Amino acid sequence: MHKAVPPRAADVVTSSRGAIVTAAGPSMRAVLRDLALPTFAQYARRWDWDLRACDLPADGASADPFAQGAKWNKIRLLREALEQHPMALWLDADVLVLRQDDDIAAHLHPEHFQALSLEMVPSEHRVNPNTGVWLMRSCVAAFAFLDAVEAAGPQPGPWADQGGVLAALGWDRGDQDYRWARPGRGGDFLAGTSWLPPGWNSPYLEGRSDGECFNSAAASYADRPQVLDPHALHFMGMTPAARYRAMATATGASTLRAVSSSTATG
CATH number at residue 145: 3.90.550
Cα–Cα distance between 245 and 256 in angstroms, integer? 17
Cα–Cα distance between 251 and 254 in angstroms, integer? 5
pLDDT band at 148 (very low <50, low <70, confident <90, very high): very high
Q: Is residue 260 part of a domain?
A: no
Cα–Cα distance between 251 and 233 in angstroms, integer? 10
Judged against a pLDDT cut of 80, whether residue 81 lies above it is answered with yes
Give the per-residue pLDDT at 253: 53
Tally of domains in the chain: 1
Beta pairing partners, 173: none
pLDDT band at 13 (very low <50, low <70, confident <90, very high): very low
Q: Is residue 50 part of a domain?
A: yes
Average pLDDT (12-39) is 88
Q: Is residue 16 part of a domain?
A: yes
Q: Is residue 241 part of a domain?
A: no
pLDDT band at 199 (very low <50, low <70, confident <90, very high): very high
Average pLDDT (73-84) is 96
Q: Is residue 250 part of a domain?
A: no
- Percentages helix, strand, coil for the chain (3-state, rounded to 5) are 40, 20, 40
Residue 36 belongs to what domain range?
9-95+102-197
**Are 203 and 224 in contact, with CB atoms under 8 Å apart?**
yes
Q: Is residue 118 part of a domain?
A: yes
Q: Is residue 248 part of a domain?
A: no
Q: Which 3 state secondary structure label does DSSP give 115?
A: strand
Q: Is residue 258 part of a domain?
A: no
Residues in Cβ contact with 99 at an 8 Å cutoff, skipping those fewer than 6 apart? 229, 230, 231
pLDDT band at 216 (very low <50, low <70, confident <90, very high): confident
For residues 92 and 8, which has the higher predicted lDDT (pLDDT)? 92
Give the per-residue pLDDT at 207: 80
- Say which range, 111-120, 170-179, 208-217, has the weakest mean pLDDT: 208-217
